[in-house]
Amino acid sequence: MEYHELTIESAGKLLASHQISSFDLTSALIDRIEKYDDEIRSFIIVDKTMALEQAKKADQDIADNKILPLTGVPIALKDLLCTKGIKTTCGSQILNDFIPQYDGTIVNKLKKNGAVIIGKTNLDEFGMGSSTENSSYQITTNPWNKDHVPGGSSGGSAAAVSARFCCAALGTDTGGSIRQPSSHCGVVGLKPTYGRVSRFGLVSYASSLDQIGPITKNVKDAAILMNIISGHDAMDSTSAKVDVPDFTRAFDKFEKGSLKGMTVGIPKEYLCVDGIDPEVEKVFNEAKRIFEDLGVKIKEISLPHTDYVVAAYYIIAPSEASSNLARFDGVKYGFREKVSDDLIDMYKKTKSKGFGPEVKRRIMIGTYALSAGYYDAYYGRASKVRTLIMEDFSKAFGTCDFILSPVAPAPAFKIGENMDDPLTMYLTDIFTLSANMAGIPGISVPAGFSSKGLPIGIQMMGRRFDELSLLRAGYGFEETIGLDKKFPDF
Amino acid sequence: MKISTDEVTKIAHLARLEVEPSQKEKMAEQLSHILGYIDKLKDVDVEGVKLSSGAAFMNNVLREDEVKESPGPLVTLANAPQRDEDFYIVPRVVK
């Protein structure tokens, strides 16, 4: 056994039975980061001293027999989650020196359950992007092929799990930012139902769409993290008062054929999306066959408004962003451009210097869409289309338990390939945006490789608050295809 | 939808952003391209459809008013780019 091979589950067992120490595990992973992350560039910050202190404390707790689900397990966090005393940059120059004075609810929950926070991972600035090329600090590479992007915006978290720099990571997902990089990096990523996980301490991009979720080496670990991060939080007014099941129950007595009785829906509109790579289609068809073998009934369904999802999303998300990001004005925190003695001018110079091009572009789109005279035509209309998209899913889930689709139309593209064409980049989000628009959960599970050796995942979307069915189906799929044991060769 | 460079200037002002003169043309072109794509929303019949404000269960959540400890100005103002004790310093507003 090598330290970097450990999952949350296997590390937990070895730690609890005193076969390894958290200090040795954490040190080994930090050594690995120091050795390989120069090329992957998945971490923005690794606080070695703090991580090793937390590991020592975990070892003491284990010696005292105080063992919680994550005691001593090293976990990475997307640098969009506020961590007390550790810089939280959001991938932006505007927060280059920002040190939060509190832990977000989810960071707090991880720490309370004994986790070691190994570092903060790279992302597209404020979560805006699909490739992690929009970080103002560094471009993360795909551990499977360093000429390619890892996906985004949680590209740093997905690459760090794929490169086995940590047992698991947390990402955030506003339009696919957990599922798409997980697919591109060959790991498991779950976006929970909207409201399942508290957003308190998550720096807001588009508040009606954002969710925090796990990025892990296998489906079981995703369930373990879901058990910890789910639940109502009085600090987030959109957090749902809904019972949280034991998600690891999804794996009780799993055997071939035990998915019998489930029905999977295949949206007919997804099969005629422009520009689907034949290799993605092949992996998707193979996944369908695997589910059939597992006893799942296949049913064609219809999501009639699929063709409008990207357009509605790229009004709603930028509109919310233009409002949310107004707070970065150089007054209360973050960067301030000091050249001016006029207030409005100070705001303008601060924002113009602090934000990168994609963030500015989305603020501009959102400001335009919400401006006098255009509100009804853009935001109003997009919000109504969102209602229709939600109704499509409600109808579909009347006849199936989960929906199967590709995650992205193509495997990870080359670094730089789409940088000058924002719209083309937006269109690659077609399969993932719907889950955010409808507020439903979605999981990406590794399903195959392209001829060039790049991972390809499949997506399952489920009913609201039914992550359990996704974990169950995902686990059945993973057990059959066995890709949870495949990682880049270093 | 075609966005002119004048509109770029106007939107940028509303957003409290500055767009470099040399970048205005490109920004206008990119916004026109994106908004042109978004125009397809006009093809959807939304007559009588309700607005959705999100995917949350929105009902009123009420609680008792309780006095709790505040983190205090030292914590709240810890990240201020410029401050004088308990105050944020900003450029003069009233002239």
CATH of the domain at A8: 3.90.1300.10
Same domain, A368 and A411: no
Same domain, A243 and A338: no
At residue A401 the predicted structure's pLDDT band, cuts being 50, 70 and 90, is very high
* A98 domain-assigned: yes
Tell me if residue A371 is catalytic: no
Best B29, B31, B52, B74 residue to mutate vs chain A (most A CBs within 10 Å): B52
Asked whether residue A103 carries a pLDDT value surpassing 90, the answer given is yes
* A225 domain-assigned: yes
Query: Across residues A52-75, what is the average pLDDT?
Result: 98
In a 3-state reduction of DSSP, which class is residue A246? coil
**Beta carbons of A58 and A72 less than 8 angstroms apart:** yes
Same domain, A81 and A173: yes
* A180 domain-assigned: yes
Tell me if residue A153 is catalytic: yes
- Name the residue ranges covered by the structural domains of chain B: 5-43
Separation in Å, CA of A364 to nearest CA in chain B: 6
Which tokens is A354 given? 């602090």
Same domain, A365 and A414: no
CA distance A272 to A490: 38
Same domain, A376 and A416: no
CA distance A238 to A378: 24
Same domain, A470 and A377: no
Same domain, A351 and A475: no
- Which pLDDT score, from 0 to 100, does residue A257 have? 61
Best B37, B57, B83 residue to mutate vs chain A (most A CBs within 10 Å): B57
Which burial class, exposed, middle or buried, applies to B42 when counting CB atoms under 10 A from its CB (0-12, 13-18, 19+)?
Answer: exposed
**Beta carbons of A151 and A183 less than 8 angstroms apart:** yes
**ipTM of the complex in this document:** 0.95
In a 3-state reduction of DSSP, which class is residue A180? helix
Same domain, A163 and A223: yes
* A83 domain-assigned: yes
Of all residues in chain A, what percent carry a pLDDT higher than 90?
93
Asked whether residue A476 carries a pLDDT value surpassing 80, the answer given is yes
At residue A341 the predicted structure's pLDDT band, cuts being 50, 70 and 90, is confident
Query: Which residue of the set A157, A162, A177, A450 is catalytic?
Result: A177
pLDDT digits (tens, 9 = 90+) for A67-99: 999 999 999 999 999 999 999 999 999 999 999
- The last residue of a domain, from among A383, A417, A443: A383
Name the residue with higher pLDDT: A251 or A162.
A162
In a 3-state reduction of DSSP, which class is residue A145? strand
In a 3-state reduction of DSSP, which class is residue A413? coil
The total of structural domains in chain A comes to 2
CA distance A5 to A11: 9
- The last residue of a domain, from among A319, A348, A383: A383
Q: Is B21 on the interface with A (CB under 8 A)?
A: no
Of all residues in chain A, what percent carry a pLDDT higher than 70?
99
Q: Is B14 on the interface with A (CB under 8 A)?
A: yes
* A268 domain-assigned: no
In a 3-state reduction of DSSP, which class is residue A458? strand
Q: Which residue of A329, A342, A349 is in closest CB contact with B18? A: A349
Same domain, A97 and A192: yes
Asked whether residue A460 carries a pLDDT value surpassing 70, the answer given is yes
- Which pLDDT score, from 0 to 100, does residue A1 have? 84
Which residues of A fall within a CB distance of 8 Å from B90? 331, 343, 346
Strand partners, A414: A148
CA distance A10 to A26: 14
Opening angle at CA B51, ends B49 and B31, nearest 5: 105
Same domain, A427 and A375: no
Q: Is A146 on the interface with B (CB under 8 A)?
A: no
* A265 domain-assigned: no
Q: Could you tell me the pTM of the whole model?
A: 0.97
Alpha carbon B44 to its chain's center: 27
| Residue position matching structure tokens 């590991």 | A55
Same domain, A315 and A431: no
Give the structural domain span for A186: 3-260+403-485
Provide the mean pLDDT of chain B: 91
pLDDT digits (tens, 9 = 90+) for A157-201: 999 999 999 999 999 999 999 999 999 999 999 999 999 999 999
* A129 domain-assigned: yes
CA distance A284 to A286: 5
Which tokens is A129 given? 């992007």
Question: What's at B31, amino acid-wise?
Answer: L
For domain B5-43, is the CATH number 3.40.1350? no
Asked whether residue B58 carries a pLDDT value surpassing 70, the answer given is no
Q: Which residue of B11, B16, B30 is in closest CB contact with A347? A: B16
Same domain, A375 and A413: no
Strand A263-267 to B87-88 pairing: unpaired
